[in-house]
Chain A
Amino acid sequence: KAGVTQTPRYLIKTRGQQVTLSCSPISGHRSVSWYQQTPGQGLQFLFEYFSETQRNKGNFPGRFSGRQFSNSRSEMNVSTLELGDSALYLCASSLVGGEAFFGQGTRLTVV
């Protein structure tokens, strides 16, 4: 069974640009969550999607958004990038009430 796939693995963007990250969950998993990991703030929850609906949202500005498609694949978008958005973005997929399985992450560098 394939794991969680995140693309791309690495990104370099310039301040002010926008970026879209993609996550393909494990087959059969309908819940997808996104986390931001930085050395200063650790692992912080961004949002969770279940059956194409956002079920939870973390404390991030509106520049951070996401969506989920009917095949459970998810994307997150960050607009007007700031230097502080440089981070490892992790996607996790879960069955309802089950453990989360993480992808390898997308390393975003904003210059």
Chain B
Amino acid sequence: AQSVTQPDIHITVSEGASLELRCNYSYGATPYLFWYVQSPGQGLQLLLKYFSGDTLVQGIKGFEAEFKRSQSSFNLRKPSVHWSDAAEYFCAVVANYGGATNKLIFGTGTLLAVQP
């Protein structure tokens, strides 16, 4: 069965520092992968997606992620964190991609705190 693991529950970084959030997936075929961000009490906002092609994908708000098939990873990065990036980040994979579903399987999330 497909699954997504986010090993870090909480991460604290200083404003201006670089950021890397880890995501590992379990999926038999080429996955469709996503990163979402959620502010408290709000819905999920799509940061970026990987469907195929270039393994380094650019997203909104200066985020990027790299798909590494050999490591089953899709880590999210940002070179310089802003205080407004404090939020919870979720990695997700589409279950059984093939057009038959848009069901997402989510990781448990990583809560990012930004120190001034």
Contact = CB atoms under 8 A, between A and B. Distances in A.
Interface of A: 4, 6, 31, 33, 35, 42-43, 45, 48, 55-56, 88, 90, 92, 94, 96-105, 107
Q: Chain A contact residues: over half helix, strand or loop, or mixed?
A: strand
Contact of A102 (B41, B43, B105): B43
A102 B100 contact: no
Contacts of A107: 41
Given A42-B109, A97-B97, A33 B102 contact: yes
B108 A48 contact: no
Interface residues of B, number: 22
A31 B102 contact: yes
Interface stretch (B13-21, B23-31, B44-52, B69-77): B44-52
A100 B108 contact: no
Nearest to B108: A42
Nearest to A97: B99
Contact of B44 (A42, A48, A96, A102): A102
B103 A33 contact: yes
A90 B105 contact: no
Interface string B81-116: 000000000100001010111111110110000000
B101 A56 contact: yes
B63 interface: no
A42 B43 contact: no
